[in-house]
Structure 1
Amino acid sequence: MAQRVDLDPAQGPGPVTPSAELPDLETVRRVAGQIGSAISQVVLGKPEVVRLALIALLAEGHLLIEDVPGTGKTVLAKSLARTVDATVSRVQFTPDLMPSDVTGVSVYDRQTSRFDFRPGPVFANIVVADEINRASPKTQSALLECMEERQVTVDGTSYRLARPFLVLATQNPVEMEGTYPLPEAQRDRFLARMSIGYPDRSAEVGMLADRDRIDPLDSLRPVTDAATVASLVDAVATVHLAPPLRHYLVEIVAATRSVPEVRLGASPRAVLHLARAAKVSAALDGRSFVVPDDIQRLAVPVLAHRLLLTVEAHAARRSADEVVRVLLSRLRVPRGG
């Protein structure tokens, strides 16, 4: 049985203890707005993309950013990381990357005649996993325990990770050369997946103004810290989710398991992720309660990446996003609550 221990402060950050008095939802909205404004200085013309990144941060989930090369996936991840005064690490995933390169390794110390644990880059508040699907499945699986249990187990000893802990992973579409598809278990651990897409023409013109001389990331400064983010996460959890909406959430997720085009539907973990994301969405809009629009707005980014479609659905050029949208249109929306 694995022993659970805390890292020594010299080896890595420990969990952040939130203050006894939680901030109110107006504070959540204000701080989130400051973070979003800072990111928008770098990621131009993508307000919905920035909003989903904020939702992942405040829901204490993990975010998968999938798109073709050059659309700003890494820039978005690094922008979010720089707006929070916290420990940040970046891992470039490559085919020769080993699991211990991510989680850490035990090294024998001749002076003390014992093994000392050297923590890997995963021991940070925000971990930017760049091009995660270019590593082998063996290395990808090194993140499974980290992302779900917020701990790393090496040689029978478990080390707790920092709080908040957020994995911002980027990946290229699986059609690109040199990529490996993410395992189903790992995709399910991401709270949401999103695509940035190409910017509109005005945004691209704005990019040409001075980015050939100045890197906008250099001008970003933290607007909050890890302890504040941890307290905001706890505050968002107090947002009310009425019983009818709980049933609505379960009904949506359960419906993904009975669609003919889907051979693997969303898991119970997806219910929890969608509920947490909906609460953050309500808080960002200044509400202390969830409404159906919060759930419908997030159903595609939270659920679609978890679905495995049948061969027939792929042949008919159906997408998981489309399947989720059709499901939403068929289900009855609860009133009141």
Structure 2
Amino acid sequence: MTTLFIKNAAAVSPLGENLNKIWQNLLLREAEFGQTHLPGNKSYFSAESKKGSSQDINTYAPLFYNTIRNLINALEITETVDAIFFATAVGNLANIENKIYSKQNLNLDEFDFTKVRELFLEEHVANSETHFVCVPTGCCAGLQAIGLAKSLVDKLNIKTAIIMSIDFGLSPLAFEAFNKINATSEYQDDLQSSPSRPFCQDRGGFLFADGGGAILITKDTINQPKITGYGCVSSAYHMTDIATDGSSIRDSMQIALADSGLNGKDIDHINLHASGTQQNDEAEFNALREIIGEDLPEITAFKGNHGHALGGANMIEIALSWKMLKENLIPPTPNGLPIDAYKPIIKREETTPFTGKTLLKTASGFSGIHASLIMEK
């Protein structure tokens, strides 16, 4: 069993420009959402890390690279790392769109996610010997990057690595694409709580957001939260739908538990993908009942606070899970969400103590990709 110790974590999301700010807003039960206007009098719910930025593609396009730099700085790295595992779903789509709209020339390099490697070299956290692995696999990308790191650290003699996942996809093309599959929500002035409503009876879909996170991992044994288990399956079920029996999610959980040497009854907390769609939440709930049973531990679902940042969402949630393990606290449910869809999943009005030691984290993506992680302290 390969164990990855997390030396530090960082995140940027609509709830805050750094992990501490996001954490404080979680404890205050804050939920961030607004609207994005598109040509043709279209207006959608969105959650922006920089408010109002997506309204101007010239302003929005640079945020992808700027956020990578901010995450690197927040990790407080003192020497070059042995590897970088970089994950994304749409990459810097906004920059490409900006060039198209302004009739600038494009070259193939701008469609190559691995070119991000050059930025890490410029920031002096990598050198010519640093392994660079790019994981452009959508909404599971962050967890899959961790899984790849877990499988490669011994083979490549990696001692330290950055694992980062980020997406700034609030561009006109992305909104139109997600609208085609009914994944966006049209803006309504009278909505008082977040349109991202995981495990609520009236949930209707995900809140399109941006942001990302990063962790600095080491093979050295340190007194910090660690990643002990990983599992991933690709059922190729459907391009966008999920099997609501939860069988594929269950399989990813079982693989992760076996990798960690634990069983379902050993899990003290669960942080779910919880996109807020009818299918995803039902599938995760059914998977948990099979793995753990009817008596579930406390559950967090942070997309109800700050929406779904595609591939970046995984790593924001990993960073916040690391924070929960360090602070021994479980944040309350976001304001305005009843959490009334399934009896074992309950609403929390206040921050509660985290007295356990183990955490299960899930993620799901298009075409039936499902991943799970086990974290321990």
Q: What's the TM-score once normalised by structure 1's chain length?
A: 0.27
> What is the TM-score with the length of structure 2 in the denominator?
0.25
Which of the pair has more CA radius of gyration? 1
